[in-house]
Structure formats: structure tokens, C-alpha cells
Chains A and B, each alone.
Chain A
Amino acid sequence: MIQDYMKIVFRSLVERGIRTWLTMIGIFIGIAAVVSLVSLGQGLQESISEQFEMMGVNAVLVTPGGPLFGIGGGAELTDDDLKVIEKVRGVQDVAGMLFKYSQVKFKDEIITTAVIGLPTDESADILLSMQNFQIAQGRFIKKKDKAKVVVGYLLAQGDVFDKPVELRDKIEIEGEDYTVIGSIVEIGNPADDSQVYVSIEQARIIFNEPKKYDIFWVRTLPGFDTATVAERIKKDLRTSRDLEEGDEDFSVETSEGLREAYVSVFAVVSAVVIGLAAISLFVGGIGIMNTMYTSVLERTPEVGVMKAIGAKNSHILSLFLLESGFLGAVGGAVGIIVGIALSNLITYGAAAAGWTFIKASFPWYLIVGSFAFSFIVGSIAGTLPAMQAAKLKPVEALRYE
């Protein structure tokens, strides 16, 4: 029986040829847009999460000013604060860093990039224990190093200056020569990958900042809850800086908290974009409805014959529903394939431009979900026309011109 339904549906679709295809295209465009946007968004979100995961679940960041690295504003963090944090129960070690955007010169070429002063004591291990902050060539900075620098991946690759920066080359920061002693593996975005790193002692001299820190990277002891330790750091810093609760001029964030903040902002943006793309799916659904009304009209005499030889209302209804659902499902399937191709294309394009963290991701529920969704859109769009067909009176349907 179901086979007969399918045969009739197929014949009807094939008969209408180009119009069937056009209707499917309507769905296919919408699904392709949604699939590619969702998969890119999903991939981006995974990359962001990954970056935070690499920080480790036991990381706490202390920065001046509001959360999410508000530019400017906020208090200065100093050695006093470092000492306060080190004494908080549950803190293993604290890495204090200093950075400024500065001009870096290599063989007569100048770029402006972040110069980052890193600790050289044991706390440097906090950074070096991260997967994406490993030495690719040479070695890391040591305490006794003077005028030595470690460069980011893109500098070593030669994507920033005309020539790649190699070990033992000299680069100039704020008018002083520095010898390159190492390079870092790829982090995945052009800004981070073109930074240069010096010891914090050197940075203090270059920038004439004897006391200031821009960020503290805290590692908590195993067995302690990171969020609780973060809360304690906040409270102790508040006390030492003589501030009321809610008036903090610094922010304390766990890697997990930061990740969640990013993900929720991201979710809002992607919801807006995907919502806009979904409008076209709605328009596609209206196209199916239109096609189905036409189909019902064109086949009114046929429906009359079917009913005259005993077809029930429900038979006619399922026949037309199947037809519209099929339109949706096939359009959806093609759309999924095109969408996947599109986002892979964008992934390659982005990677070529250095944005390796833009990676499309296709979770199974995206594929299954969009397929089911397109079938549902088709069926819903077909409901009204199918009901109209089902309710036709056999005599009138037969008499219809």
C-alpha cells in the first residue's frame, strides 16, 4: 500500500518537472544557509571552549577593571596584590604579566604588536603547561637572560615580516636590540601569533613600569574548588584594597566563568543570525504550500476518480501530505549537502588567512535535525492543501474542468 502511495507521489512530482525542482530549491537554499551558519557557529564555539580548556580548569585570572578585559579603566595591580593572592588558601602559584602594544622592528620593517613580559620563576610553568603555549624552536626565557626575546608563530613563519625571524636574529623593541632565542607553536589567531615575549624584568625596563601588572594568572591547588578559591581571592583583594563588595576595581574570573560568558554572548549573536537565515526557510515553506495548492487543483478530477472507486478522506490526505513532506525532505537533504560544502569552503578560506580556529563542526543532531525539520516544514506547508483535497466531494471533483 505505502509503495502505491510512493508511486503516485513520484509520478505527480515528475510530471510537474521544473516546478517541483523550483519548490525544492526554495527549501534547499534555506536549509543550506542554516546548516552552514550553525556548523560554523558550532565550530567557533568549540574552538573558544578549547582555548579556555587549555588554560586548565584550575585557572583564575585577575585583571584590573571590569570583566572580559575591559580596555583601560580599573586599578593598577601591583606586587602587593600579588602577595595577597599568593597567601589565599588553595592557591598554588601566581604568574604576573605585563604587556603593552609597542613597535617592533626587524630588518628595517616596523609593526605594532603586543610585547608581553612573562615571569621567569617557577610560576612560568603555569603558561608552559598549556598545550598551545609550547616552545617550537629554541628555548624559553630564563631569569638571567638580558635582551632576549621569544617570538610568536607567525613571526617565525615569515608571515609578519618579509623574512622569517630565525633563532639568533636580532629584533628591535623600543630602540633596543633583542636576540631571538625561541619561538612558540601556533595558537590559532593572527593577533596572538604575532606577539613577542620578554622576561617581565626586561619589560619593566623597556616600558618604565616599575610596579604594575596587567594580569595575574593564578593556578589553584588540586582538590580545591576553583570558583571558591576565586571568591576568596576577590574577598582578600577587596579587604587589602579597602573596597566594599560590589565596588571592585579589579575582576577575578575562573577559566570556566570566562568560557561561559563568551559562550552566552556568542549564543545570542548566532541566534540572531540563524533566525534571519531561518526566515528564508519560512518563505520556502510558503512556496511548498503554493505548489501543493496547485497540485490539488490540477489533480481534482483524479481525486474524484479515486474517491469514486472507494478512496477514503484519510487516503487522499496522506497522499498529499506525503507529496509535500517529500518536497521538504529532498530539498532539505540537498540543502544539507550544499551547506556542508559551503562551510568547509569557508573553513579552508579562513585557514588560508591564518584564522585556524574557524573550523566548521557537524554534530549528528545538526544533520538529523535539519533533515527532520525540512520534512516537518514540508508536511506543515502541505496540511491545508491536503485537507482541501481530502474534503472534495467525489461528484464535484469529477465534474471539475
Chain B
Amino acid sequence: MALQKYFEIAIKSLTERGLRSWLTIIGIIIGVAAIVSLISIGQGMQEVIDEQFKKVGANRIIISPGGIFFGPLGSELVSAQLTKDDADFIKKIRGVEAAIGVVTKTIQVRFDDETKTLSIFGVPTDSEAIAQIKTIGFFEIEKGREFTQSDRYVAILGNIIAYDTFEKNITTGKKIRIEDETFTVVGIQKRAGTGIHDMIIRIPEDVARALFDEPEMVSTIFATAKEGFDVGEVAEDIKVKLRKKRDVKEGEEDFTVQTAEQSIESFKTILGVVQTVLAGIAAISLLVGGVGIMTTMYTSVIERTNEIGLMKAVGAKNSNILLLFLIESGLIGIVGGGLGLLIGFGMAKIAEIIAQAFGVGLRISTNIWIILGALLFAFIVGSVSGFVPARTASKMKPVDALRAK
């Protein structure tokens, strides 16, 4: 029998049952839609993170004191400290292009009679360091200029600090007070969109050290690998050599060396776990939908017992009957999957529009794998749920089936 015939019979059986077929399909639609919308939103988030990562640059290595949970601003919570000496030491390691030690502190800043507590980054202003900073997308200048070697009491502001922190906007040329010193604003950064980079004030390192009374301490070291060197290997090399310099054993490091990629990865892993848990809970409804298909298929088998008897009497094999019912249940699954896919994308799109209206940079993303995966999965759910009823049908004895009322 031609495959086409199987489909004709299966479709006829589904349309005959009209409303009930649709109810079964709706069960699958709901589950698939929930999962697809969750995954496409999660996928979009991952892409946004990847874009941020490109701004940092693939050849960055970040060295921070203590464990991995604390970024540059968390260094105040950790007892271990890195020093200027460590930064100079790292600079000399083979494969390292540059290493910039940054000293940070959260401190009161005054502008136009308003006082706020903000994060100050003391950054080196030698020509080498400035050249490095210019390559970091987060620190791009929108107005004014980058530091020069001779700069002393000047500041470059993150975008949010300039425009959304104090009541009045701060423009270049204005003066701000940090502790007891007055600084002239010479530059304002482009909005990085990451929060942290938009919320900092950069001042020259030497001035910062004097201001904070921190002659040696370095909060974070930002290193760059030379072109042609493997970033991961350079990072490992830094780890080994720094361990030796600080006289600690392997596994007992009081510092962390991470490539930009690793730090992004660890964040993506957390996001992935959350996404999996949510999608898993949503998948329960797909399981229930599958049970619904099974119920429907049992009904279908019972209602068509006579038909099965007739088919068998005129020579249909067990395998023919099995295939017939499997195609019917698979069809329910795939139609439900297809419609669920469309509705799922629709819901995710609505979520995206609503989020953007509230200023949240949520974006959805789809690829061929989500589409194929959802369809295949729905088809499998349909076939698996249909298998037991289909086997029941295929094993009927022709005589009994014909005689059944």
C-alpha cells in the first residue's frame, strides 16, 4: 500500500472526529508554545551576552584577588590583595601585550551641591595603557577626550553618571569634587549598556592612589594577550608564574585568572540552568498532552474496531494496521507542534515588544534547530503515545474485531 494511502485514511479518521481531534491537538500546541517561547527568549539573552563579550575583546585576561564571584567592585570584600608589583610582573610574561592594574574605591562625589556615592576607577595614564584602554569597547569616548600622560585632576565619566545620576547633566569642562579634591571633566563615555561601565568615574591612577591612600593595592588587573598567542595558554602561564611569585601552591591560589571568554561562559552556564529548569517545568504540560494523544488513540482504535476487522479480513497485515495508527498519532503530534511553534514565537515576540516598551533590552532569537527540534519532538511525543494503542489495534483477531459491537 502506498504511503499516501496511509495518510489519506489517517486524515479522514481525524477529520471525522472533528472537535475531539482539535482538543487533542490543542494539548500539544500549548506545551510546544510554552517551551518554544521560553527557549527563544533564553537564546536571545545568550546572544546579547555574546555581543557584550565582543566589546571586551577575545584576547582579554582578567586577574582579580580571591574567588571568581567578585568583580572589580567586590575586591573590597576579599582579604587577599594584588599589588602594582603583580601587574608589572604580569606585563613581562611572554605572550602578554599589556597589563593594566586598576585601583577602585566607592566614595562620595559632589556635583552642584548634590552628593552621591559612586565607584571610582584609578587607571594608569602612560601612553601604553591609554592605547590599551582605547581598544576596549566599553570605554569608548562620546564627548571630549581620553586621558593623556600629563593629566592630573581630570575625570572621565560613564554615560549614566553624566546624564542620569545628578539632577543636572554633567558636561565636559564642568567640575566635580571627589573627597576633598576638585576634578575637571574632560570626557564622557558612550553608553555601554552594561550598567557597571556606565556607572564609573575614571581618574588618573597616581591621583587616585594619593586620594585613597592606597600606594600599592590593585583591585583588578586587565591583561591582553599578544596576537598569535593562545589566550587560554597565556592565562594558564600567568596563573603558574603568579603562583610562584606569590609563593602559593596549586589549588590554593588567593587570586583568579579568567579569560573574558571564561567569565562570560560561567554567566551563560547559570542562565542555561535557569532556562532548562523553566523549560523542564513547561515540558510537563507536553507530557500531559502526550497522555491526551494516547487517550484519543485508544478511543480511535475502539471506534474503528470493525474497520480494522474488515481490513484484516481483506489481507491487511499487523504491520499495516500498526503503521496506520502510528501515522495518525504522529500527525496529531506534528500538527500540534507546528501550530505550537507559531504561537510560541508569537508569544515571545509579544514579550519582546512589551519588554522593550519598558526599556528592557530583551530580544528573542530563533534558529533552524529550535524549529526542527520542536517539530521532531512533537512528532516523537505523538508516535510514542500512539504506539501502545496502535499495537493493541494491530494484534486484534480479524473475527473478534468484525464481531465487536
Contacts and interface: CB of A to CB of B under 8 A. Distances in A.
Contacts of B281: 33, 37, 273, 276-277
Contacts of B252: 103, 110
Contacts of B106: 64-65, 72-75, 249
A93 to B, nearest CB: 26
Interface stretch (B27-35, B42-50, B89-97): B27-35
A22 B34 contact: no
A280 B33 CA distance: 12
B294 to A, nearest CB: 5
Contact of A286 (B26, B74, B254, B282): B26
Contact of A287 (B27, B78, B117): B27
A103 B115 CA distance: 36
Contacts of B296: 290
A289 B23 contact: yes
Nearest to A249: B117
B298 interface: yes
Interface in A267-284: 272-273, 276-277, 279-280, 282-284
Given A242-B115, A291-B295, A101 B288 contact: no
Given A71-B77, A72-B76, A290-B23, A280 B114 contact: no
Contact of A18 (B23, B24, B298): B298
B288 A287 contact: yes
A291 B79 CA distance: 66
B116 A284 contact: no
B305 to A, nearest CB: 13
A229 B179 CA distance: 30
Contacts of B285: 30, 279-280, 282-283
Interface residues of A, number: 48
Contacts of B80: 102-103
A392 to B, nearest CB: 16
Interface residues of B, number: 47
B274 to A, nearest CB: 10
A115 interface: yes
Given A72-B73, A115-B79, A244-B114, A287 B292 contact: yes
B119 interface: yes
Given A100-B78, A174-B79, A273-B281, A249 B30 contact: no
B295 A19 contact: yes
A279 B34 contact: yes
B19 interface: yes
Contacts of B350: none
A29 interface: yes
A29 B288 contact: yes
A243 interface: yes
B230 to A, nearest CB: 28
A5 B27 CA distance: 30
A109 B246 CA distance: 18
B173 interface: no
B289 interface: yes
Interface string A153-176: 000000000000000000000100
Interface in A212-235: none
A101 B67 contact: yes
Interface in A118-146: none
B87 to A, nearest CB: 20
A88 B27 CA distance: 63
A147 B252 CA distance: 23
A144 B277 CA distance: 51
Contacts of A249: 106, 108, 116-117
B118 to A, nearest CB: 8
Nearest to A66: B117
B284 interface: yes
Contacts, number: 143
B37 to A, nearest CB: 11
Nearest to A37: B281
A72 B288 contact: no
Contacts of B19: 293
A71 B74 contact: yes
B295 A287 contact: yes
Contacts of B114: 244, 247
B57 to A, nearest CB: 24
Nearest to B300: A294
A64 B106 CA distance: 10
Interface string B342-359: 000000000000000000
Interface in A83-114: 100-103, 110, 112
Interface in B164-187: none
Contacts of A100: 77-79
B119 to A, nearest CB: 6
Interface in B62-121: 66-67, 70-71, 73-80, 106-108, 114-117, 119
Given A65-B106, A100-B78, A244-B114, A283 B30 contact: yes
A247 B298 contact: no
B287 interface: yes
Nearest to B107: A75
Contacts of A19: 295, 298-299
A25 interface: yes
Given A19-B299, A72-B74, A283-B30, A276 B278 contact: yes
Contacts of B251: 110
Interface string B244-260: 00000001101000000
Contact of B20 (A112, A273, A290): A290
Nearest to A105: B252
A73 B117 contact: yes
A293 B23 contact: yes
Contacts of A102: 78-80
B292 A283 contact: yes
B291 A74 contact: no
Contacts of A54: none
B63 to A, nearest CB: 16
Given A101-B79, A247-B115, A283 B289 contact: yes
A400 interface: no
A10 interface: no
Contacts of B282: 276, 279
A304 interface: no
A65 B73 CA distance: 12
Interface of B: 19-20, 23-24, 26-27, 30-31, 34, 66-67, 70-71, 73-80, 106-108, 114-117, 119, 251-252, 254, 278, 281-282, 284-285, 287-289, 291-292, 294-296, 298-299
Given A19-B299, A272-B278, 14 more contacts: A18-B298, A26-B291, A29-B287, A30-B284, A33-B281, A72-B73, A73-B117, A74-B117, A75-B108, A102-B78, A112-B66, A112-B67, A283-B289, A293-B19
19 contacts: A64-B106, A65-B117, A71-B77, A72-B106, A100-B78, A101-B78, A110-B252, A115-B79, A247-B114, A247-B116, A273-B281, A276-B34, A280-B287, A283-B30, A283-B31, A283-B285, A286-B23, A287-B288, A291-B295
Q: Which 8 pairs, one residue from A and one from B, show the smallest C-beta to C-beta distance?
A: A249-B117, A72-B73, A280-B285, A102-B79, A100-B79, A287-B292, A290-B23, A22-B295
